[in-house]
């Protein structure tokens, strides 16, 4: 395939369309996914191509959407359920965490729930406290759920395509600020396997472990650090479950320093789990404590200024890295 310019949104739509073309068991279920085309236009026009029997508009009931997807998966389909916002995932936790995540175990491996739950999270649109959260830790905390969070256009396509082949439930969280991200991609180019990290930049002084939109912030920060003589490795996790900790460990052992960056809140978040594992498993190689850079433990404000200040940005990553390595911050 020739190089093509796609947005993150386009890549997701193409992944869905390609999967639906290849597999007639793939169906989409959710609020306004059909005639309206989805809250962020990912499913736009798919109903015209595949019809209302495979692109199904539902009532405004997140528990019903996920519950129907669980039942459909048990009955032999491969549903893609869409929640408009990850903030609503709490209402679906019985269907998702108590049913979908546990059915394979409770039935002795005889049956699974091959569904994908697509949703979006994060800040960037001044959507307020109830529509701007990063709740991936809820999912990561639940055994039996797989979790993918793509940062790039290519991964938006490939991770969703891979998720739609898995025998167990995958929660697929897209960042709302990435839908318009545009990249030139070759979708036939080799990509990391499911569950493997991508090393976006290689350095000798520090490892930055992150995912989703924060990958772009970390890359921007790494360029600023390089101008000051500090070279950082940037690891894009791609999937948080499965977690490719072997690669993380190997990279941290090379540099002796690690920083974990997450848009989720600091307390009991993804950054807390990852920094704890790095501290435990890389202890003999660490020169300094593992540093967390994460969201503030506060509700997200509708104010653009307060919203931006409540989650990590490139400059905070730079300042934290400089303090870690040199004891100073940028002027």
Q: Is residue 193 part of a domain?
A: no
What are the beta bridge partners of residue 80? 28, 116
Same domain, 164 and 16: yes
Same domain, 249 and 226: yes
**Is residue 158 flagged as an active site residue?**
no
Identify whether the C-beta of residue 58 lies closer than 8 Å to the C-beta of residue 64.
Answer: yes
Q: Which of 151, 186, 221 is the last residue of a domain?
A: 186
Distance CA 207, CA 196 (A): 16
**Is residue 131 flagged as an active site residue?**
yes
Same domain, 152 and 220: no
Q: What is the pLDDT of residue 328?
A: 67
Q: What is the pLDDT of residue 28?
A: 98
Distance CA 304, CA 326 (A): 32
Identify whether the C-beta of residue 271 lies closer than 8 Å to the C-beta of residue 262.
Answer: yes
Instruction: Identify the band that residue 1 occupies on the pLDDT scale cut at 50, 70 and 90.
Output: low
Distance CA 250, CA 322 (A): 23
Distance CA 59, CA 65 (A): 8
Same domain, 306 and 236: yes
Query: What six digits make up the tokens of 253?
Result: 């052992």
Residue 244 structural domain:
198-330
- Out of 31, 82, 131, 175, the active site residue is 131
Same domain, 230 and 279: yes
What pTM does this model have?
0.96
Residues 80-114: tens digit of each pLDDT: 999 999 999 999 999 999 999 999 999 999 999 99
What are the beta bridge partners of residue 119? 173
Find the CATH number of the domain harbouring 91.
3.40.50.970
Helix axes 245-255, 270-281, angle to 10 degrees: 60
Question: CB 85: neighbour CB atoms within 10 A?
Answer: 18
Same domain, 211 and 128: no
Q: What is the pLDDT of residue 226?
A: 97
Same domain, 10 and 136: yes
Same domain, 296 and 268: yes
- Out of 22, 31, 49, 62, the active site residue is 62
For residue 167, what is the DSSP state? S
Query: What six digits make up the tokens of 161?
Result: 């395509």
Residues 20-47: tens digit of each pLDDT: 999 999 999 999 999 999 999 999 999 9
Query: What six digits make up the tokens of 199?
Result: 């090393």
Distance CA 87, CA 96 (A): 14
Instruction: Identify the band that residue 62 occupies on the pLDDT scale cut at 50, 70 and 90.
Output: very high
Distance CA 165, CA 90 (A): 26
Same domain, 116 and 65: yes
Same domain, 209 and 325: yes
Identify whether the C-beta of residue 192 lies closer than 8 Å to the C-beta of residue 198.
Answer: yes
Same domain, 138 and 39: yes
Find the CATH number of the domain harbouring 265.
3.40.50.920
Residues 266-318: tens digit of each pLDDT: 999 999 999 999 999 999 999 999 999 999 999 999 999 999 999 999 999 99
Identify whether the C-beta of residue 208 lies closer than 8 Å to the C-beta of residue 218.
Answer: yes
Lowest mean pLDDT among 107-111, 184-188, 261-265: 184-188
| Strand runs labelled E in 186-231 | 198-201, 206-210
pLDDT at 221 over 80: yes
What are the beta bridge partners of residue 171? 117, 147
Query: What six digits make up the tokens of 310?
Result: 């409540």
Same domain, 210 and 182: no
Instruction: Identify the band that residue 327 occupies on the pLDDT scale cut at 50, 70 and 90.
Output: confident
Instruction: Identify the band that residue 174 occupies on the pLDDT scale cut at 50, 70 and 90.
Output: very high
Half-sphere exposure of 278 (CA within 13 A, CB side): 31
Q: Is residue 192 part of a domain?
A: no
What is the chain's mean pLDDT, rounded? 96
């Amino acid at each position: 395939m020739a190089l093509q310019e796609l947005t993150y949104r386009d890549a997701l739509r193409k992944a869905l369309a390609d999967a639906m073309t290849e597999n007639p068991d793939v169906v989409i279920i959710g609020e306004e996914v059909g005639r309206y085309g989805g809250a962020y236009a990912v499913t736009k026009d798919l109903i015209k191509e595949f019809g209302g029997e495979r692109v199904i508009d539902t009532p405004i009931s997140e528990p019903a959407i996920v519950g129907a997807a669980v039942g459909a998966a048990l009955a032999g389909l491969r549903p893609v359920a869409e929640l408009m916002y990850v903030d609503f995932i709490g209402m679906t936790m019985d269907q998702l965490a108590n049913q979908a995540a546990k059915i394979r175990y409770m039935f002795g491996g005889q049956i699974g729930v091959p569904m994908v739950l697509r949703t979006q999270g994060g800040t960037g649109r001044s959507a307020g406290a109830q529509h701007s959260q990063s709740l991936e830790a809820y999912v990561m905390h639940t055994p039996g759920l797989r979790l993918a969070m793509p940062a790039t256009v290519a991964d938006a396509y490939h991770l969703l395509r891979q998720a739609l082949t898995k025998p167990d439930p995958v929660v697929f969280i897209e960042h709302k600020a990435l839908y318009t991200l545009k990249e030139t991609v070759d979708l036939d180019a080799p990509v990391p396997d499911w569950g493997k990290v991508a090393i976006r930049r290689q350095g000798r002084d520090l490892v930055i472990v992150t995912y989703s939109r924060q990958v772009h912030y970390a890359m921007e920060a790494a360029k600023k650090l390089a101008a000051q003589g500090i070279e950082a490795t940037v690891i894009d996790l791609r999937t948080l479950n499965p977690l490719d900790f072997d690669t993380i460990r190997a990279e941290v052992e090379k540099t002796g320093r690690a920083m974990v960056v997450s848009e989720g809140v600091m307390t009991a978040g993804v950054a807390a789990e990852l920094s704890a594992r790095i501290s435990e498993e890389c202890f003999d190689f660490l020169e300094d404590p593992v540093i967390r850079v994460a969201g503030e433990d506060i509700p997200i404000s509708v104010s653009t200024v307060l919203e931006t200040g409540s989650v990590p940005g490139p400059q905070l990553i730079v300042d934290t890295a400089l303090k870690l390595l040199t004891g100073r911050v940028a002027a």
